[in-house]
């Protein structure tokens, strides 16, 4: 029996551009999100250490105004998320895949990175996807890191929050730069989103968050996003909340430091149930609930059948 070939090492682009908000700067004492210290260590350094701990990560490029290091190369901040992402893709244009990662993941681990890359590479190979994006059931985030708020979307399968990693084909990011930029700019405008995704998608989105969560599914989102960026996009359901726990607001910063102090004092994080969430088959519809008849309803059904038989026998 032949052994499986080792997976290729994937080059990494860390997005470290942009300034922290005024509230974050006041709380942290720095205008650079990448250099915000949690547990006495800059977040960028924590992310770099986690990536280097994964055997699947190759050379690291950081896009942004950050100090030099022997552990990564630097690219100039281009001013916005999409431009920095494409800049990193251009720097790795000859690679089959590139891992895009943000700089504000204080709890990221090599194990979480390896799990995502292993499954994302397999999914991309099997489906031909150009982009693989992770989502995490938000309940796992709250259980693992209580006190940290997350933005979540209610779908038929579960309530998910988005991850801060992405596996992509560099040439696809370069060729579809304008479409991706248009989609990114429209993310906060319902009208522009409706024009891009379709009004039916907007209605589904609104109703699914209030009355009918079954209207919105992961496969449907995959289909619409694929149409939006003109390339196959797939979702990977991860069981690692570390890849979706970032710092968006001062309250997150204080909560993370509180957790860090507890860990430094010998404390532990809440454990998570052992289940392989990444193996969810998105093509399979959830099973329908089977209503078991109560003794009273069963008796009524028998009585009704008896009446039906009696009517049929009556001449």
Average of per-residue pLDDT values in the chain: 84
Burial call 150-167: b when 16+ CB within 10 Å, e when fewer: bebbbbbbbebbbbbbbb
Comparing 27-36, 64-73, 268-277, the range with the smallest average pLDDT is 268-277
Q: Which residues contact 156 (CB under 8 A, 6 or more apart)?
A: 213, 214, 215, 216, 217, 218, 286
Give me the pLDDT at residue 299, please.
61
Q: What span, in angstroms and rounded, lies between the C-alpha atoms of 29 and 184?
A: 29
Task: Determine the pLDDT at residue 248.
Answer: 86
pLDDT at 278 (0 to 100):
46
Lowest-confidence region among 125-139, 200-214, 252-266? 200-214
4 confidence band (pLDDT: 50, 70, 90): low
Does residue 232 carry a pLDDT above 70? yes
Of residues 85, 41, 42, the one with CA closest to residue 62: 85
Q: What was the pLDDT predicted at 151?
A: 85
Residues 45-54 pLDDT 10s: 999 999 999 9
Asked whether the beta carbons of 63 and 17 are under 8 A apart, the reply is yes
| pLDDT, tens digit, 9 for 90 and up, residues 262-307 | 988 899 888 887 654 544 444 333 334 444 455 555 565 556 655 5
Measured distance CA(183)–CA(61) in Å, rounded? 25
pLDDT average, residue stretch 35-57: 96
Would you place residue 89 in the very low, low, confident or very high pLDDT band (cuts 50, 70, 90)?
very high
Residue 260's pLDDT is what? 93
Q: From CA 233, how far away is CA 132, in angstroms rounded?
A: 6
Number of neighbouring beta carbons within 10 Å of residue 55 = 12
- CA 233, 239, 242, 247 torsion: positive or negative? positive
Q: Which two tokens stand for residue 237?
A: 């359901």
Q: How far apart are CA 163 and CA 153, in angstroms?
A: 12
Mean pLDDT, residues 148-164 taken together: 89
Which two three-digit tokens encode residue 54?
């994964």
231 CB burial (10 A radius; 0-12, 13-18, 19+): buried
Residue 212 in tokens? 């009918």
Percentage, residues of the chain above pLDDT 90: 58
């Amino acid at each position: 029996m032949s052994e499986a070939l080792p997976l290729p090492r994937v080059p990494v682009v860390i997005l470290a551009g942009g300034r922290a908000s005024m509230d974050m700067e006041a709380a942290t004492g720095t205008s650079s999100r990448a250099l915000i210290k949690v547990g006495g260590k800059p977040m960028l350094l924590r992310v770099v250490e986690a990536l280097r701990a994964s055997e699947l990560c190759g050379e690291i490029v950081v896009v942004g105004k950050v100090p030099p290091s022997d552990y990564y190369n630097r690219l100039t901040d281009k001013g916005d998320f999409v431009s920095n992402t494409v800049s990193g893709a251009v720097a790795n244009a000859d690679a089959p895949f590139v891992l895009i990662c943000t700089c504000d993941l204080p709890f990221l681990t090599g194990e979480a990175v390896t799990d995502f890359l292993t499954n994302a590479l397999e999914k991309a190979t099997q489906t031909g996807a150009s982009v693989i994006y992770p989502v995490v059931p938000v309940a796992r985030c709250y259980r693992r890191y209580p006190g940290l708020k997350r933005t979540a979307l209610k779908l038929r399968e579960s309530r998910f929050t988005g991850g801060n990693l992405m596996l992509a084909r560099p040439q696809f990011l370069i060729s579809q730069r304008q479409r991706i930029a248009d989609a990114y700019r429209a993310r906060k405008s319902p009208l522009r989103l409706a024009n891009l995704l379709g009004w039916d998608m907007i209605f589904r989105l609104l109703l699914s968050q209030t009355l009918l969560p079954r209207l919105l599914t992961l496969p449907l989102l995959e289909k619409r996003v694929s149409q939006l960026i003109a390339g196959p996009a797939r979702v990977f359901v991860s069981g690692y909340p570390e890849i979706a726990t970032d710092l968006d607001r001062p309250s997150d910063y204080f909560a993370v430091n509180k957790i860090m102090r507890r860990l430094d004092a010998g404390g532990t994080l809440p454990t998570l149930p052992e289940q392989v969430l990444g193996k969810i088959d998105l093509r399979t519809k959830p099973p329908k609930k089977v209503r078991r008849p109560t003794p009273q309803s069963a008796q009524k059904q028998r009585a009704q059948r008896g009446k039906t038989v009696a009517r049929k026998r009556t001449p």
